[in-house]
Structures are given as structure tokens and as C-alpha cells.
Amino acid sequence: MKNKQKRYFGTDGIRGTVGKFPITPDFMLKLGWAAGKVFSREGNGRNKILIGKDTRISGYMFEAALEAGVTAAGVDINLTGPMPTPAIAYLTRTLRAQAGIVISASHNAFEDNGIKFFSSEGTKLADDIELAIEDLLSEDMSTVTPQSLGKATRINDAAGRYIEFCKSTVGSSLKFNGLKIVVDCAHGSTYHIAPAVFEELGAKVTAIGVSPDGLNINEQSGSTSPESLAAAVVEQQADLGIAFDGDGDRVIMVDHLGSIVDGDEILYVMARDRRRQSIDFGGVVGTAMSNLGLELALDALDVPFTRTRVGDRYVLQEMLERRWNLGGESSGHIICLDKISTGDGIVSALQALAAVVHCDQPLSDLRSKMRKLPQSMVNVKVAHGTQIGDNEAVKNAVSDVESKLGKNGRVLLRPSGTEPVLRVMVEGEDLEAVDRLAQELSDLVAAEVGSPA
């Protein structure tokens, strides 16, 4: 079964445009039923599945459809309402549910939606479970007997439970008294959670992006558009800013100067703080896109670093295999495995804030100890399935560019997972040289394997 190709599940669940298959109410009804049937095999006695969502308007429709499907399979439901994705991972584990379902399209605009699943341990589903769900989707849907139907219950204290968990990840003695911060919740699922977490730990909080209307999630706000946060930090003369994406699993920060601090820099700040405190965290897992500056800065701290394919699923797999506790992506998807089982924007922000307090230095000083190297990326249109590994001209050109860059530079050719393009990335110490070499290399790649526009 492991070699079988998945039809619906991608690297991060199922996602697409609302109203276009499979992001339709009838598909979600069947998906809920299939998931209920699969997870009912996993538990003993009465089974239950936790369902949460972000703030996009289509969440109401899909919540109702999933609820009908799951209960038709004879499985109970706990509904949380709008909650961050990592909160569902946490609550699934602590409430002893067979699985958790999140209705969210993460950092996408409101026109999209999707489904993410968590196992009973609060981790992403194994491939065989996803394949088992997909197998049932091809069968006719049947309903259990009336006396065996599942029941739906709303968890009224879900937000409070998660707020207390987040606070517990930094220890009872740590306080953020005196820190003035701006928090941007992207009109998403952290809007009623994140400001409370930082306020209860003593910070003076100005909250923006906390007025969701179902249509404005991620709209010119949050971790994918941190410019408004940067302006607010400077205007408020705050110590720093924190931006989450719509479902709360990513975080990007801003220092008091209004400069954006990305996931690579946040990882470095956290790793440096743990090293200073002699906390054993193994090493740091990044991806092929992680800035070379992170690798060099960690090497200076004598902290091991390794790269995986792009995607938090692969980061987590590598962390588990190596038994390391820190990993993430420059996009701000950071995993602190000693704190929670998945990427969590609030928990990651708390670890970075803890470093600011421990060091008694502004974020601008802490991030300056890692020097990001300039990156230039050019997309080259190619036909689906294009392979470049055997192209001698491309291989020779890459080797030539790498020799020009030296040890503080690198080249990455990576096919996009979502569109027919090859991403040509060059990284080095000199921005002008990096831009020029990236353009020259992409021109050659286009001539060799590119497809007509």
C-alpha cells in the first residue's frame, strides 16, 4: 500500500478553491464518513474526532458537512469552533480523541479552504491511514443504525485550555513585564488566543488583524504580509512585533526598527539561547531553501545543521529520526518538538521572546548575530515531469556557478510542487553577483529544458 499513489492528500492535507472539486460540501460529507470509518477501527469503545476551523466563511459549510459524515459513521465529535491548527493537535492528544480535523487553507486567501488531519498523538497522519481513507471514498456511503449514530458536543473551554498550554511552554517564572509588542493575527484563528497569551505573561499588547469577517483572513496582514505590522511597530514605538498566518502555525517577527525577522533568523535566536543555557536540543533541521547564513551562524555556535526537502512534513520526519528538537522553514513554520508535536506560531514566538528576556537584548541585536546571505530565485517554465539530472550543459553550468561562489555560496535547482516551473536559486555573499549568476543560469536552463510560454 505504501507504493500506492495518493489521489487527494498532498504534503499538507487536502486544499483547493471552494466550490471546485474536491473542496465541495458533498466531498466533505463523504470524507467525514470515510475518516470516521477508518478511525473507528483505531479506538476502543466510544470513538471521537475533534473538529476545529479557522475564520474563513466556508468553514461553517464544511464543518456541517464533516459533522454529518463523521456521525453517520457512528463516531462522536467534539467541536471547538475557530482554533489554531496546532491547538487542535494539542487538544486531540489531551482529550484522547482518535483524530483531529482542521478546516483551513492556512496562509491562503478566503477563496480557498482545506482539510488537515492529526493522529491521536497530535502528529500528521501516516501514509497508510491517508490511503485507507482514500480507499473508502470510492465506496458507497452507508449510515450506521440510528442507535449507533455519533453525537456532536461543543467544547466551550477549548481556547482557555490552549492558552494555558502555550503559557506553560516558557515556564512559570518567566515574565514579559515591560515588553511592548504588536501582535498581528491576520484576522485568522489566533485572533482570540494570541493577544491573551502575551498579555497574561505580562507584555503590553497592541493587537491588529483581530476582526475576522469570514472574508479578510490573511488579507494584507499576518506572516505573509508583515509590512503593516512593521509600520505599526515603528508607529507604536514597540519593542517588537509578531505576525501569525491564518491558522496560526507560522510566525514572522519584526524588530523595533521595523525590520522583518524571518523563520531562519527566529530559529537561530532560539538555538543560540538554548546553547547559552546548555539545553541539549541535538541540532537544527532546515530545508533546501534555508538561508546559508543560518547554516554558517549555527556552525559558529557548534550546532549541527541538516537540510531536508521543502515542507514541514519532511522537517518533522528528519527531526524525529535524529531526535533533534528544533527545525523549520524560512516561511516561519517552526517546530519545537520538546514543546509540541507540530509547528506552532504562538509557541515559537514565545521561545523567541524568552530569548529576548534571557539575554536582556533587543531582538534586533539577537538577529544581527546571524548574517543572511543574498538569495536570488528565478522561475523557469518547464513541462510537467521535466528531469534535468542528465543534462550535461545544465550540470556544467551549475558547477561553474558554484566555483565562482566559493564556500559561502550555493546553487539550488528545484521543481515546484504546485506549478510547471523549475526554481533556479543562487545564494552568495555579493547581491549583484548573485542576481547576475541566477539570471545567466536560468537563461541556460530555459534554453536547455524550458517550455514555450
Q: Which residues pair with 284 in a beta bridge?
A: 305, 326
- In sequence order, which residues have a C-beta less than 8 Å from that of residue 165 and are 6 or more positions away? 90
37 DSSP assignment: H
Which grid coordinates are listed for 372? 543572511
Burial 318-349 (b: 16+ CB within 10 A, else e): bbeeeebbbbbbbbbbbbbbebbbbbbbbbbb
Amino acid residing at 299: D
Q: Are 77 and 151 in contact (CB under 8 A)?
A: yes
How many angstroms from the chain centroid is the CA of residue 134? Answer: 24
**Cα(14)–Cα(418) distance, rounded to whole angstroms?**
13
Catalytic residue among 104, 106, 189, 341: 106
Among 175, 194, 174, residue whose Cα is nearest residue 184: 194
Distance CA 236, CA 179 (A): 12
Residue with cell 511592548: 180
Distances 441 to 256, 293, 444 between C-alpha atoms, Å: 38, 22, 5
Tell whether omega for the bond before 452 is within 30 degrees of 0, i.e. cis: no
Residue 106 annotated to the active site: yes
Provide CB contacts within 8 A for 314, sequence distance 6+: 11, 287, 308
Amino acid at 19: G
Q: Which three cell numbers stand for residue 24?
A: 465541495
User: Strands 240-244 and 251-255, how do they pair?
Assistant: antiparallel
Q: Within a 13 Å sphere around the CA of 278, how many CA atoms are in the beta-carbon half?
A: 0
* Distance separating alpha carbons of residues 128 and 99, to the nearest angstrom: 15
Q: For the chain, give the number of residues.
A: 453
Task: Tell me the catalytic residues.
Answer: 106
